[in-house]
A and B are shown apart, each in its own frame.
Chain A
Amino acid sequence: MTVYYTREHEWVRVEGDSGTVGITDFAQGQLGDVVFVEVPEAGRAVTRGGEAAVVESVKAASDVYAPVSGTVTEGNQAVVDEPALVNTDPEGEGWFFRLTLSDNHELGDLMNAEQYKEYCEGL
């Protein structure tokens, strides 16, 4: 099981060809109090870099992009019902959706935890 990160501050935890996607602790910190989350339904095809979910804080609205391409297997109803989970546990209970990856090679373009940490420090 490995976690990969994007420059847009999404993470994807991968086991075999299935992945779980959310936004990072850095992202939730920047957004502030999350008040609305929309997640994709099972069966929806998402493309790497394409819009996949929506997260809105008191301050701002932003799109969550798919870190990798694939087919959504589950949206997290828990964050829809309780958006604050994105603030309290962004890289755990606050995940957005699960998907089946269509091309594991896409993972090569993402950052690992250490690279992502450095990336954030440079922002």
Chain B
Amino acid sequence: MSEPEQTLPLDGWHRARGGRMVPFAGYQMPVQYEGIIAEHLWTRSSAGLFDVSHMGQLIVAGDGAEKGLEALLPADLMILKEARPKYSLLLNHEGGIIDDLMITRRGAHFYLVVNGATKAGDIAHLEATLPRGIVLDHMKEQALLALQGPKAVEALARLVPGVEALTFMTAGAFELAGAKAWISRSGYTGEDGFEISVPAASVEKVADLLAGQPEVKPIGLGARDSLRLEAGLPLYGHDLGHDTSPVEADLVFALSKRRRAEGGFFGWHRIARELAEGPIRKRVGLAVEGRQPVREGAMMVDAEGSEVGKVTSGGFSPSLGAPIAMAYVPLAYAVLGAKISLASRGRIFTGTVTALPFVPHRYHRKGAPQ
């Protein structure tokens, strides 16, 4: 039996705006307001406000935090500059992924944002493996919002002058609605946008202010999922897990150059072997023929009908008006244009291996015009 769901600080706020609440990661969360497709397209054309307060916000501090964390994840923290969030992975001894996360150096400590459904396990793992003397703080009193879309910068800069100077994957401390806010220019939709950490006590005021901007509408989990799928971004627990390696998951960019060469982190053995010899299988994007979505759990089958791969995320792309999916396929099929047979709901579908992202990223990178 599962635990009853907890409520997030914005629970009543979502309900008052017509959010349809569903259980997710142990919380009651809004899956949609007006409808997934409308919310999805709104985010792609204007700005969407997401409540991601279920995610875990952690502080790792103390002498040796840098070295201690480098044993658990493949990022080069030695050269990680202040206030530059970096995507990384908590790895197990077998090179599998315990969680994916963002890690930022903030003064003397590291700030980590981990997935909601995995945060308890992450904390236990960190406590069990980080050397003594390192302090781990789970900031339960912090809420987290994401403002995503091409007009996010316009809306947020109106409330937080100066925030427009941030570029993709940079962050800083600001003030928003009288509250201290840690804002990074990052997100999970493929669009330009921001992630905003504020005290839970202030989040309702902040959400009101943001949602009050003409560019902004609240967006539910349903569109969050379809947006990240179009952006080719993996979802932990679906596209990533304890038995998938970063090489299989096509996340080699998360293995920093020095770390790749030197090792010295959990799972290095397998990862080095896969980097040298190639993995057995690899995560790819698939364009699915026809209109019917092929969903998580569908099998990739060979000519004899045997399972040789698996769809880990799949659905209908509102931007493309067609079904798309992510799947793990044998390495020989992980080439653009390869045709894949998928068994789903008692029939066979054809997928074509397609470059990720399905919909181009529109991040505001350094050096790009404002």
Footprint of B on A, CB under 8 Å? 32-33, 35-36, 38, 54, 56-59, 61, 83
CA distance A43 to B345 in the complex (A): 23
Partner of A56, one of B35, B222, B293, B318: B293
In the assembly, what is the distance between CA of A56 and CA of B316, in Å?
A: 9
Give bound CA distance, A71 to B131, whole Å: 71
CB within 8 Å for A32 and B292 given contacts A58-B222, A59-B222, A61-B345: no
Distance of A54 Cα from B345 Cα, bound (Å): 10
Q: Inside 8 A of A33's CB, which chain B residues have their CB?
A: 35-38, 318
Q: Does B197 interact with chain A (Cβ within 8 Å)?
A: no
- Contact status B37-A59, CB under 8 Å: no
B35 touches A32 (CB 8 A): yes
Tell me which residues across on chain A come within 8 A of B35, comparing CB atoms: 32-33
Complex CA gap A84/B36 in Å reads: 13
Known: A58-B315, A61-B345. A32 touches B32 (CB 8 A): yes
Chain A hits for B292, CB < 8 A? 36, 38, 54, 56
New A-B contacts (20) at CB < 8 Å, excluding given A33-B36, A61-B293: A32-B32, A32-B35, A33-B35, A33-B37, A33-B38, A33-B318, A35-B37, A35-B291, A35-B316, A36-B291, A36-B316, A54-B345, A56-B293, A56-B316, A58-B37, A58-B222, A58-B226, A58-B315, A58-B318, A61-B345
Q: Which of B274-331 touch A at CB < 8 Å?
A: 291-293, 295, 315-316, 318
Given known A-B contacts A32-B32, A32-B36, A33-B37, A61 and B291 have beta carbons under 8 A apart: no
Q: Which residues of A contact B222 (CB under 8 A)?
A: 32, 58-59
Interface residues of B (CB under 8 A from A): 31-32, 35-38, 222, 226, 291-293, 295, 315-316, 318, 345
* 28 A–B contacts, CB within 8 A, in A order: A32-B32, A32-B35, A32-B222, A33-B35, A33-B36, A33-B37, A33-B38, A33-B318, A35-B291, A35-B316, A36-B291, A38-B292, A54-B292, A54-B345, A56-B293, A56-B316, A57-B36, A58-B36, A58-B37, A58-B222, A58-B226, A58-B315, A58-B316, A59-B31, A59-B36, A61-B293, A61-B295, A61-B345
Nearest-neighbor residue (CB-CB) of B345 within chain A: A61
Output the least CB separation between A91 and chain B (Å).
19
Q: Closest A-chain residue to B295, C-beta based?
A: A61
Which of A35, A54, A57 has the most CB atoms of chain B within a 10 A radius of its CB? A35
Nearest chain A CB to B48's CB is how many angstroms away? 15
A51 → B minimal CB distance (Å): 10
Closest to A30 in B: B20
Residue of A nearest to B292 (CB): A36
Chain B residues with CB under 8 A of A32: 32, 35-36, 222
Pick the most buried of B38, B316, B318: most chain A CB atoms within 10 A of its CB. B316
Q: How far is the CA of A83 from the CA of B322 in the complex (A)?
A: 13
Nearest B residue to A58 via CB reads: B36
CA separation between A32 and B293, bound complex, in Å? 15
Closest residue of chain A to B36 (Cβ to Cβ) is A58
Tell me, in angstroms, the Cα distance from A59 to B295 when the chains sit together: 10
Task: Output the nearest chain A residue to B37 by Cβ-Cβ distance.
Answer: A33
How far, in angstroms, from A36 to B32 measured CA to CA in the complex? 19
Smallest distance from the beta carbon of A38 to chain B beta carbons, Å? 7
Which residues on A sit within 8 Å (CB–CB) of B318?
A: 33, 58
User: For residue A87, which residue of chain B has the nearest CB?
Assistant: B35
Which residues of chain A are within 8 angstroms of B32 by Cβ–Cβ distance? 32
In the bound complex, what is the Cα–Cα distance between A57 and B32 (angstroms)?
13
Option from B31, B37, B293 in Cβ contact (under 8 Å) with A36:
B293
Q: Using Cβ atoms and an 8 Å threshold, which residues of chain B touch A54?
A: 292, 345
Q: Output the least CB separation between B270 and chain A (Å).
A: 36
- 7 nearest CB pairs, A to B: A35-B316, A33-B37, A58-B36, A36-B292, A36-B291, A33-B35, A58-B316
Chain A residue, CB-CB nearest to B32: A32
Smallest beta-carbon distance B287→chain A, Å: 15
Contact residues in B for A56 (Cβ distance below 8 Å): 292-293, 316
- Least CB distance from B229 to A in Å reads 10
In whole Å, how far is A25's beta carbon from the nearest beta carbon of chain B? 14
**Residue in chain B with minimal CB distance to A38:** B292
